[in-house]
Amino acid sequence: KVSFVRSVFIFSLLVPILFYLCLKQKFEKTENLILILISCTIFLSPYFRTSAFWGLEENFGIIFLLLSFLSLSKFLSNVNKLTNYYLLFLTTLLSSACLYFDQKLAIIPLICFLQIYFSNKSIKLKILSILFYLIFSLPYMYLITIWGNIIPAADASSRGIGDQLYFQHLG
């Protein structure tokens, strides 16, 4: 148990590094020291520190969120046709993995998909992205079929989810 918690803690140290890389890619002309200081602001979050210290899984979702935005940015700026297919696969895989690590990040695949769809890339790449997202959603669709709900049956029954719909709380 201790080695698992330590490994999650060490793996969580990737978050500020990936955040720095995202900032560096977006703001190329900004001074590195400023970007490093901004990327270290994640350490001020008690949610992040608690997740890293106690070995919770939420930071994995953050890591894959940053990785998916890095690959999406590379994909959108890339002009090499052969590399586009690899980057498209990587972007769809990483953004789909965000959902599997933390269901709160379900919007990340949608953002990536819309960015790809409204980009100036070829229609072939856009159709391929739809195919990739359909393939990567199959395990989740299987889980929904087994559970009979969007969350596990035990959790749904204890929370009263699925009994009735509360449209005012849809978000």
95-112 confidence digits (pLDDT tens): 999 988 888 888 999 999
pTM over the 0.75 mark: yes
Distance CA 112, CA 89 (A): 12
Instruction: Give residue-wise pLDDT tens across range 44-70.
Output: 999 899 999 888 888 999 999 999 999
